[in-house]
Amino acid sequence: MPNNSTPSSSESDPKRRVITTTDSERRDKLLKRLKPYWMMEGANVFFMPFFAWFLITVVAKGQITVAVIAAMLATSFLLVVGTFAWKMVVDGLEGNSTSEEQWTPWLDLARWPAILLTTLALIATVIEAISTLPRFSASLIGASLLCLLAVLEFVNYYHVQLQHFDHADDFQRLLSGKGFRQSHLSKSIRAYRQRVRKV
């Protein structure tokens, strides 16, 4: 137990104390911004299919087709991936590293059913388009938009962070020509695979 009269290393070094405080404030600020993300993604797992169903059947008086159902499943599955991906980031900022260790292998494996579901949704949407065009039915429009969302979500989580509109620094970085950041999940998967290779 340290003597109360002995200053800690951070207390004896003003510069180090400032850096520590700044890092802590930066982490708290980042945590406050990112904490709602996993909750919103989790809610969207159910909200997006419901919203699509409402627009197609109630507003447009259309029908829920195989293409729409397939696109709903693909989108919802990737939103589940996003929920866990953001929860891992938040847990890490809160000092819980076991969450990332536990879920990264499963999210790495989830890439393949995500690709399969998205591919099936795209195929079903193309088949519906062939049978309905040049008429754009509500179901075809809905399935197409959901497929687009699924593809964007896949890229956003497994490759690069497409979401730049909600944070000024990220948006300015994009406008500066530096390109997209690697996604948090992609970094976690790469680190996990490197650890597995070393074992």
Confidence bin at 17 (pLDDT 50/70/90): very low
pLDDT digits (tens, 9 = 90+) for 86-142: 999 888 888 887 888 899 999 999 999 999 999 999 999 999 999 998 888 999 999
How much of the chain, in percent, has pLDDT values that exceed 90? Answer: 54
Task: Give pairs for 55-61: CB < 8 Å, separation 24+.
Answer: 55/138, 55/142, 56/138, 56/139, 56/142, 60/138, 61/138
For residue 187, is pLDDT > 80?
A: yes
Q: How far is CA 157 from CA 52, 84, 186, in A?
A: 22, 11, 7
| pLDDT value of position 23 | 72
Look up residue 181 and give its DSSP letter: P
pLDDT at residue 197 is higher than 90: no
Q: pTM of this prediction?
A: 0.79
CA–CA dist 158, 188 (Å, integer): 10
User: How far is residue 37's CA from residue 83's CA, in Å, rounded to a whole number?
Assistant: 8
Structural domain boundaries in the chain: 35-160+167-198
